[in-house]
Amino acid sequence: MASKIKYESVKIGDSLPMVTIENVSRPDFVRYAGASGDFVPLHYDQTFVEAAGIPTVFAQGMWTAGCLSRCLTDYAGAGNVRRFKVRFARQVWPGDTLTCRGKVTAKSEKDGEKLIEGEVEVANQKGEATVRGNFAVVAG
């Protein structure tokens, strides 16, 4: 797949397209559970989470990482992602609004590919990071 970005036009510090997910909801978590097989009750069963001392259900970490991956696929195209690593920083709760963003930190050539590397993050409406990560994508 041809990359959506041209290596020569990318500069260190460039921003990736932001992705915003407004009003995250319990049905989002249930749909993800069905698609992924991650049926841990912490993500959909209110009675279970209250018994565990948690105020309400929260998103699967990989659901949030999937939201973040849209920054990369919107930027370079799905077939051009070479590395995507994340670390989970805090829970995502129903009602949260998430902003996914990224920044270019390096350019290099490896094994005949022109690579763009950078950092990505998901932040909630309070500006708190919920997921942080790094990436490498192929440029044309």
Domain limits, the chain: 7-139
Burial category of 42 from C-beta neighbours within 10 Å (exposed 0-12, middle 13-18, buried 19 and up):
middle
| Secondary-structure class of domain 7-139 per CATH | alpha beta
pLDDT tens string 22-70: 999 999 999 999 999 999 999 999 999 999 999 999 999 999 999 999 9
- With a threshold of 0.85, does the pTM exceed it? yes
Q: What is the largest CA-CA distance in the chain?
A: 55
Torsion of CA 77, 131, 54, 51, to 10 degrees: 50
Least Cα distance to 53 among 38, 42, 62 occurs for: 42
Question: Residue 117 has what pLDDT?
Answer: 99
